[in-house]
Amino acid sequence: MTGLHRNLIAGEWLGSDGAPNLNPSNTNDVVGIYARASQKEARDAIHAARAAYPGWSRSGILERHTLLRKTADEILARKDELGRLLSREEGKTLAEGIGETVRASQIFDFFAGECLRLPGEIVPSVRSNIGIEITREPVGVVGIITPWNFPMAIPAWKIAPALAYGNTVVFKPAELVPGCAHAIAEILQRAGLPKGVLNLIMGKGSDVGQAMLDSPDVNAITFTGSTGIGQRVAASCVEHKRKYQLEMGGKNPFVVLDDADLTTAVEAAVSSAFFSTGQRCTASSRIIVAEGIHDRFVTAVVERLNGLVIDDALKPGTNIGPVVDESQLRQDVEYIELGKLEGAKLAFGGNKLQRETPGFYLEPALFTEATNEMRISREEIFGPVATVIRVKNYEEALAVANDTPFGLSAGIATASLKYATHFKRNAEAGMVMVNLPTAGVDFHVPFGGRKSSSQGSREQGTYAAEFFTTVKTSYTSS
């Protein structure tokens, strides 16, 4: 098939069967034809990673550093083109697409540096004439399974540390966004990736992903995606006695107290609930507002939403692009209907929109008079839909914020040092934001959550070493 973007297996671009990758802003626009790997190809990729492991795990740190630095450099040099590809296949705005591409470059650059700073310790023994070394070794073949909503950044924050610490990789991106994954694999190959050290297998989760879960030759799996699939990943890892790391859903609270600066609170709430079309695991989908500021806050949010432009992700001036695909759009609309049935008041939006080109456009939806017991407040919708829950005071706000199965990110808008400090200590979340959106994090510090949102050690920054290495303690008698 001509123009087919193929899988990368053992250093070769392979595959004959492809599927079109559609632009959600314009379904007449085919971004490209991308191969769909079979289960057999997935097993070949795992074997290739296994074969490459002895060489790569003993490779010099300068070789790894150079590979990751060159990758970072090329991604940055091509940020406009790659950002455009990202926005075209995922639907976030061009500014967001370019920003995420720059982020991916920064992550590769960070881990290029980490290659040169591999940690180790020498400590005395409690016994005489014995020395102890504590070293970190790679884990082996790492399976990387990623979602569609951050098609550059999430693969980067898994691939870069996996390779930096000497693991080999089988990478399976989400079906909806093979373009960014293919581009990253191509760039790595140009940067000097040895044969089999990273293998790209695009395709369906139920085929390719499942083949990874079923393989005893995969030593660790790092997964980001829905809580349901995450549970399957965990079960397979228990069965095969391998390490796993899961980053899953969220239902992140953003608390607004009476003393909050109104502009700060509105900007933080609107940006984290609705930008990137609300399709961020760290999105604020429950906005918990104290009664003294409630009405002013809702009026100001509605006014702000009225001024937003929902259109083609690539058009200058667009604030919010389309929903990623038809099935996600259907899910969003079903939850909007459910919210009405549950008795919440639709204070803004929620309608499907027509634009010049056929795409999955949806007005942001803001519910007020919601309770924390409603399904729209408990289940992850993963679209531009947020509920406002009215509370009496800080104590009730904190209780509502923590009353959720999830625990990824939590935010508060307040001028009070006392409440900000108390919230940082008591919010049941892996990340807490004060006077900032719940979404939007740095690349050099740990990322992750608690409860149903995450399992295993943290991603990103120096904390990534915890997952991508295993510790060895050696004793030497002199």
Tokens 């082996």, located at residue: 140
- 92 is written with which tokens? 């976030």
Pairwise CA distance, residues 340 & 31, whole Å: 37
Residue 120 CB, shortest distance to ligand NAD, in Å, is: 29
Residue 252 CB, shortest distance to ligand NAD, in Å, is: 10
Residue 246 CB, shortest distance to ligand NAD, in Å, is: 8
CA atoms within 13 A on the CB side of 213: 18
The single-letter code of the amino acid at 163 is L
CA atoms within 13 A on the CB side of 206: 0
CB 446, CB 143: distance < 8 Å: no
User: What three-state secondary structure class fits 244?
Assistant: strand
User: What three-state secondary structure class fits 94?
Assistant: helix
Q: Is 281 a catalytic residue?
A: yes
Element (H, E) at 20: strand 18-23
Instruction: Point out the catalytic residue in the list 115, 180, 237, 281.
Output: 281
CB 204, CB 175: distance < 8 Å: yes
Residue 143 CB, shortest distance to ligand NAD, in Å, is: 9
Task: Tell me whether residue 267 or residue 380 sits nearer to ligand NAD (CB atom).
Answer: 380
Instruction: Point out the catalytic residue in the list 74, 114, 247, 380.
Output: 247
Residue 261 CB, shortest distance to ligand NAD, in Å, is: 29
Pairwise CA distance, residues 214 & 243, whole Å: 14
Element (H, E) at 444: none
CB 410, CB 427: distance < 8 Å: yes
First CA to last CA distance, the chain: 64
Task: Tell me whether residue 259 or residue 428 sits nearer to ligand NAD (CB atom).
Answer: 428
- Spell out the residues 6+ positions from residue 396 whose beta carbon is closer than 8 angstroms to its own: none
Q: Is 247 a catalytic residue?
A: yes
Task: Tell me whether residue 72 or residue 408 sits nearer to ligand NAD (CB atom).
Answer: 408
The single-letter code of the amino acid at 189 is Q
In eight-state DSSP terms, residue 240 is T
Task: Tell me whether residue 252 or residue 414 sits nearer to ligand NAD (CB atom).
Answer: 252
Task: Tell me whether residue 110 or residue 406 sits nearer to ligand NAD (CB atom).
Answer: 406
Residue 439 CB, shortest distance to ligand NAD, in Å, is: 10
- The dihedral over CA atoms of 254, 259, 260, 266, expressed in degrees to the nearest 10, equals 80
Instruction: Give the Cβ contact number of residue 116 at 10 Å.
Output: 11
The residues with which 224 forms a beta bridge, in sequence order, are 247
Task: Tell me whether residue 74 or residue 175 sits nearer to ligand NAD (CB atom).
Answer: 175
CA 425 to chain centre: 25
- 435 is written with which tokens? 């006077």
Pairwise CA distance, residues 406 & 249, whole Å: 7
Task: Tell me whether residue 9 or residue 281 sits nearer to ligand NAD (CB atom).
Answer: 281
Binding site for ligand NAD (CB under 6 A): 145-150, 172, 174-175, 205-206, 209-210, 213, 224-226, 229, 232, 247-250, 281, 380, 382, 408, 453
Task: Tell me whether residue 45 or residue 265 sits nearer to ligand NAD (CB atom).
Answer: 45
Residues known to be catalytic? 247, 281
